[in-house]
Amino acid sequence: DIVMTQSPDSLAVSLGERATINCKSSQSVLYSSNNKNYLAWYQQKPGQPPKLLIYWASTRESGVPDRFSGSGSGTDFTLTITSLQAEDVAVYYCQQYYRTPATFGQGTKLEIK
Amino acid sequence: EVQLVESGGVVVQPGGSLRLSCAASGFTFDDYAMHWVRQAPGKGLEWVSLITLDGGSTYYADSVRGRFTISRDSSKNSLYLQMNSLRVEDTALYYCTKDRDSGVYSDLLDYWGQGTLVTVSS
């Protein structure tokens, strides 16, 4: 199975500042035939199910604010939240869908400083 | 509006059995693969099982293979998870999730239910 490792485990950022979460896969999730990275990011707010934010490493799901962006390729990826809002407090997970079984990172808890 | 509503979670003793259900609406159920994902209390997400759109193929996490069986009923727009030989470590909130891509599954999960809690305890 592909192992996903996120850093840091928790993060405290001031309102209006930038938050950066990293995700590393144990093997490349870039499919050479279509040049796409099979990497997604999910947001889970307290008491709620996860919500898909970003797929193909950098494509925002419909309705997701543009302060959320994803980047990276191969084995190293980043979720960036510019200008942090109070409603962004959540746990964020990366997930690879390159190969079944789908696997998730351990999660990064984002809080307000 | 896509809705996924899970049910069937209860407290069960180790070694017991349980069947979870998920009622789907708001999309053409027969066009999408479906998944179960679980989350132990205070822990992260673990993919459990996948069934293709026609039910012809199923996949399982190593941790549940041989004990859990996923199935679907297109006449009822429903997904199921039969759980046998339950262990304490199966205690979790079980989410029913929809594959984002119609046709061949992608393992990208775009809609999640609220989950149903399974507690395995003596």
Select from A1, A52, A93 the Cβ nearest to the Cβ of B110: A52
**pLDDT tens column, B7-22:** 999 999 999 999 999 9
Other beta carbons within 10 Å of B39: 20
Percentage of chain B exceeding pLDDT 70? 100
**pLDDT tens column, B80-117:** 999 999 999 999 999 999 999 998 989 999 999 999 99
Confidence tier at B72 by pLDDT (50, 70, 90): very high
Q: For residue A25, what pLDDT is reported? A: 98
Using CA coordinates, name the residue in chain A closest to B116: A49
Is pLDDT above 90 for B53? yes
Is pLDDT above 90 for B49? yes
Average pLDDT over residues A10-36: 97
Query: Chain B: nearest CA to A36, how far in angstroms?
Result: 13
CB contact under 8 A, B115 and A49: yes
